[in-house]
Amino acid sequence: MMQAHEVMISQVYKVKRTDTIRSVIKQFIEKRISGLPVVNERNEIVGYVSDGDIMRYIGKHNDRIIDSFYWVTVINGDDVDFEKRLRELLDLNVMSIASKRVIKVSWDEEIETIASILGKKQIKKLPVERDGVLVGIISRGDVIRHSFKTIV
């Protein structure tokens, strides 16, 4: 059975936990991506920031939203306008909106398990780690390309 390290992309775009959202958005735009692992100084995965996290922040909120993954800043609809939220967001630390409960897989995880996680959790990408360190990333497209390349 094929394993994560055979499918993953090893040149991973990432941000440091000390970076601002400005650097995240810059990578989203320049690299045409929608999510980034957040790492500490030892390249350990400490979070994941996605375009969904950005949308939750800049969208209109009438109440504080708290769920198991996100703390969204209190914004009372008419009190703060959209452009001001955009400007405020740029200078925030990435960890203020990143998910801290990162779903990740080991470099030797089987592709069948990875496909199951991506499907059941409805996520687009999975960071891959080896000995606690980020070594790659696997997307839904990577799984499909590698799973069907010998069949079609």
The rounded Cα 47 to chain-centroid distance in angstroms is 7
Reported as a pLDDT band with limits 50, 70 and 90, residue 61 is low
- pLDDT the model gives residue 64: 46
- pLDDT the model gives residue 76: 46
- The CATH superfamily of 4-148 is CBS-domain (3.10.580.10)
- pLDDT the model gives residue 35: 95
Distance CA(128)–CA(110), nearest Å, equals 12
Question: Quick one: average pLDDT of 74-94?
Answer: 74
Please give the model's pTM, rounded to 2 decimal places.
0.81
pLDDT digits (tens, 9 = 90+) for 113-145: 999 999 999 999 999 999 999 999 999 999 999
Strand ranges of the sheet holding 45-50, from the earlier edge strand across to the other edge? 15-16, 35-39, 45-50
CB of 88 closer than 8 Å to CB of 129: no
Comparing 69 with 3, the larger pLDDT belongs to 3
- pLDDT the model gives residue 70: 45
- The vertex-130 CA angle with 126 and 131, nearest 5°, equals 135
- The vertex-82 CA angle with 81 and 88, nearest 5°, equals 90
Using N-to-C axis directions, what is the helix angle for 111-120 and 140-148, rounded to 10°? 140
pLDDT beyond 80 at 47: yes
pLDDT digits (tens, 9 = 90+) for 6-42: 999 999 999 999 999 999 999 999 999 999 999 999 9
Q: What share of the chain is helix, strand, coil (3-state, %, to 5)?
A: 40, 25, 40
- pLDDT the model gives residue 94: 97
